[in-house]
Chains A and B, each alone.
Chain A
C-alpha cells in the first residue's frame, strides 16, 4: 500500500532550486532509504514530508505531497497535527536538556494523549522499550537525557519520536554520529519499528541502505535519478549514474 505520494515537488532556497520535479511513492510499513552524495537534496526532500522546511524563511516548496491522500502542502494543513503523525529523528542526537522521562513524555503532554499520570508512565515505558532503551535507563528516568552516551541519546530521540505513535518516522542520517555497535543497535531497531510505522531514512552508507531498507531512491544534484526496490537498485540499476555511485566510482 502506498502511504506517501510525492508529485512534482520543487524546492527553492531563495532563487536557487534545490529539488527538481521529485515524484516518489513510499510504501506503508516498509523502510525506504534515500541515498546520494552530499548536497544532493535528499535531506531537503525528507524535511518536506513534515514541513520542517517552513522553519527556513527563504525556503519554498511547490508540488503535491499526499499523505493518506491528503495534500500536506495545502493551506488547510495544520503543521502541528501533521508533525504529530510524522515523527522525525535527526542526524545529531538532540535530546532536550531535561530528564529522560520529560523527554519521552513531552510529545504526549503537548498533544494531550495521556489522561493520567499512570497512562503517561505506561507510554514512557512502552516507548523506551520499543526503542530498546528501557533496560539501560529504567532506574534513572529522572536524570538528564544529555548524560547518556551518543547511541543511547539517539535511541532516546527515537523513543521520543514514537511516544506519540506517529504513522511515519523520518530519519535523517540517524547513525552518522554513532559508532558501529550503536549503529547496529539502531538498525535492528529500525527493522523492529517498521512493523508499526512507515520509515524513511536518509543515509550516506550504502551498506546501511542495503541492510535496512526494502526500497531505495537515489538522488543526484536535486533530481531523483532512480527509485525502486533495494534489491534492484543495488544489484541491477537501470541508470548508469546509480551504478557508478553504488560501486563507489563517485560521491
Chain B
C-alpha cells in the first residue's frame, strides 16, 4: 500500500517534469525562430544603410555646358550637364569604343548629371575647372562593392560586364570608390533605380494613414464602447451588436480593402492611392479592435466606483465622464496603439485601394498619392533588381522598429497609470 503511494507520487513528479520540459522546448523553439528571422533580416538589410560612391574627376567646361562667361545663377540652373557628365565618365578610359563608352555611362546612377549640377550650384567658381565629384554608383556595382553580387557567373548572365568590372576594380585600387551612410534611403521617394530608391514617400504615407485612422477610429470606437457598456440597455439587440463587433474583428483585412474600393473610391469618388482613403479603410479595420479593448477596460473599472459616484448624486453621464472613462483610459489607449500598430503593418487593403502605385514624390498631405511601408516592402520584393533585396530587409527593419516603439509606448502607458491607483 505504502509502496503504491510512493510510486504514484513519483509518477506525478515525473509528469510535472515532463510538462516543464515541453514548455521549455516550446519557448526555445519560438526564440530560435525569432532569432533566425531577425538575424536574416539584419544580415540582409544592414548593407542598405550604406551606399557606394564613385569619385570621378569632372571638368566643368563652360563651352560644353553652353554657358557664356559670367553666367547668372539662373543660367547655371538651366545649363546642360549631360555632356560634361558623359565626358567625365568616358575619361575613365580614353581608349574606350562606343559600346564601352555606353557601359562606362551605366556604371553610375541614371540621374548622375544631377549630382554634377548640384556640385556646381554649391560652388559656381568651379566653372572651367576640374573637380573630383562623388557620383552614386549603379545599383549593380553597389552590390558588387558590398560583396552581394556573384562575380563568378558567366558574363552573359550578369548585369555587370567584364569591362565594367575591370574599370571598377581599377577605381577601387586607386581608392576612388567609397562607401558612406545612405542618407538618401531616408530622404528619397521610391525610384525605379534601386540605388536612388528611398522610403520617404512610404514612411510619410504610413504616418498620414495612421493619423487619419486614429482620428476616425478612436473617437467613434470610444463613444461606441462607452455607450454600449454604460448606457445601452442589455437586450437581444445589444447582444447582437456585441457579437457582430467581435465578428468584425475577425474579418480578413482584404475585405475591408474591397469595401474601401467599392464605397470610398467608387461611390464617394475620393482620390485614389491617397493616405486619406487608406486611413479610412484602416480605421474600419481598427474600429472593432479599439471597441473591444475599450469595453474590456470599462468593464474592469470596479462597479463600486460607479455606485459611489451615483450615490453621491452624480448623473449617469457625470459618473461615466468623471470616473469610469478616466479610469479606463490607460487600457483604452494601449488597445488603441496596438490596433494602430496592426493597421500600420496592414498591406492587403491598401493594395486594393491603389496605394500600391509607384509614387516618386513625397506626399505633403493625406490627399497626395503615397505608398505605405508594408506596401513598399511588397513593391520592392516584387522588383527584379538585386539592389532591392537589401532594401526590402532595410524597410522591414524600419517598420519593425516603428512597431516596437508603438508597442513599448502602449506598455509604458499601461504600467504608468495602473501603478498610480493600485
Contact = CB atoms under 8 A, between A and B. Distances in A.
B314 A110 contact: yes
A66 to B, nearest CB: 20
A57 B323 CA distance: 21
Given A92-B304, A94-B302, A94-B308, A146 B421 contact: yes
Interface residues of A, number: 28
Interface string B227-247: 000000110000000000000
Contact of B421 (A55, A84, A144): A144
B265 interface: no
Contact of B310 (A83, A96, A144, A164): A83
Contacts, number: 65
A96 B308 contact: yes
Contacts of B311: 50, 52, 83, 87-88, 90, 161
Contacts of B422: 146
A107 B233 contact: no
B309 interface: yes
Given A81-B313, A97-B327, A90 B234 contact: no
B318 interface: yes
Interface in B107-158: none
Nearest to B303: A55
Interface in B303-322: 304-315, 318, 322
B309 A96 contact: yes
A97 B421 contact: yes
A110 B312 contact: yes
B402 to A, nearest CB: 33
Contacts of A110: 312-314, 318, 322
Summarize B's interface: helix, strand, loop or mixed.
helix
A94 B310 CA distance: 12
A4 interface: no
A91 B309 CA distance: 15
Contact of A83 (B234, B306, B313, B322): B313
Nearest to B301: A97
Contacts of A90: 304, 307-308, 311
- Residue of A87, A95, A107, A110 with highest tally of chain B CB at under 10 A: A110
Given A55-B310, A96-B309, A97-B327, A80 B315 contact: yes
Nearest to A111: B313
Interface string B281-312: 00000000000000000000010111111111
Interface residues of B, number: 22
Nearest to A163: B312
A84 B313 contact: yes
A107 B304 contact: no
B329 to A, nearest CB: 12
A160 interface: yes
A82 B314 CA distance: 11
Contacts of A106: 309, 312, 314, 322
A107 B312 contact: yes
A96 B304 contact: no
Interface in A159-191: 160-161, 164
A172 to B, nearest CB: 10
B155 to A, nearest CB: 75
B307 A55 contact: yes
A157 interface: yes
A40 B421 CA distance: 35
B239 to A, nearest CB: 13
A244 to B, nearest CB: 33
16 contacts: A52-B307, A52-B310, A79-B313, A80-B313, A80-B314, A80-B315, A82-B313, A84-B313, A90-B307, A96-B308, A97-B327, A110-B318, A110-B322, A111-B313, A144-B421, A157-B308
Interface of A: 50, 52, 55, 57, 79-84, 87-88, 90, 92, 94-97, 106-107, 110-111, 144, 146, 157, 160-161, 164
Given A50-B311, A94-B304, 4 more contacts: A82-B313, A90-B307, A107-B312, A164-B312
Interface of B: 233-234, 302, 304-315, 318, 322-323, 327, 420-422
Closest 9 CB pairs of A and B: A94-B304, A97-B421, A83-B313, A88-B311, A84-B313, A94-B308, A107-B312, A80-B313, A110-B314
